[in-house]
Amino acid sequence: EFMEKYLETLKGEDFQSLTHLLEEMGLFDYNLKRLGSKKRWHRVYAAFFLGLIRDKEAVPVLSKGVGDKDSLVSFVSATALAKIGEKRHLKETLLILTRRKDLRPDRAVGVLLEFGSGACAELGLLLGNESVTRQWKYLIIDLLGYWQHLEAGPMLLELLQGSDDRQMKMRCIKALGEMSYLDSASTLASYLDDEDYLARLETVKALG
């Protein structure tokens, strides 16, 4: 636990020195092997530790861990990949997470936040994927707005105008407002007369 706190906070040469020491002690290889253990908590902690080490050599094993039958192992493996800053497997990782019926979107927020705004392009593509649930799309829309990803503006406008889903509509209006997407102004203005009071209120905020 003491070591974990250091790995979370150290940067630069201090971090490199500590991780080198841990690898010299064999802890990196040890946890690579433990990720293949039959015991759930061995796999969970191994993925967690490899994420703290942030060594890209762990990426292939962690990518397999994302597809683990256990949702917690999958979640921790995805978080580890995010900590490492691995983007090559981002699309595959997101697809696996969004298709898991045993992993709610609200539990996956931490993973997506770890990936940061660099995940926006891939997240935007998932909005057009019919296999992605509405709950996941709600979360994705919220994050695209939070990160002010302007490239998603056209897709959000399309969703706003083509959906009868009240939640989808509200979230699209809010996200478009957060990213200050100018091309949405005229469309948003039309929702000032919407029959839904909350939609009108959200539109006022978005245009304000």
pLDDT tens per residue across all 208 residues of the chain: 556 666 776 677 877 787 788 888 888 899 899 999 999 999 999 999 898 888 888 999 999 998 898 988 988 998 899 888 877 778 888 888 888 888 788 888 888 888 889 889 999 999 988 889 999 999 999 999 999 999 999 999 999 999 899 999 999 999 999 999 999 999 999 999 999 999 999 999 999 8
CATH 1.25.10.10 in the chain: give the residue spans: 1-103, 117-208
Give CATH for domain 117-208. Answer: 1.25.10.10
Q: Go through 58-68 and write b for each residue having 16 or more CB atoms within 10 A of its CB, e for each that does not.
A: bbebbbebbeb
Q: For residues 172 and 181, is the Cβ–Cβ distance under 8 A?
A: no
Q: Which long-range contacts (CB under 8 A, 24 or more apart) does 156-162 make?
A: 156/127, 156/181, 156/184, 157/181, 157/183, 157/184, 157/187, 159/127, 160/187, 161/187
CATH of 1-103, one of 1.10.1530.10, 3.90.1150.10, 3.40.50.2300, 1.25.10.10: 1.25.10.10
Model-level pTM? 0.77
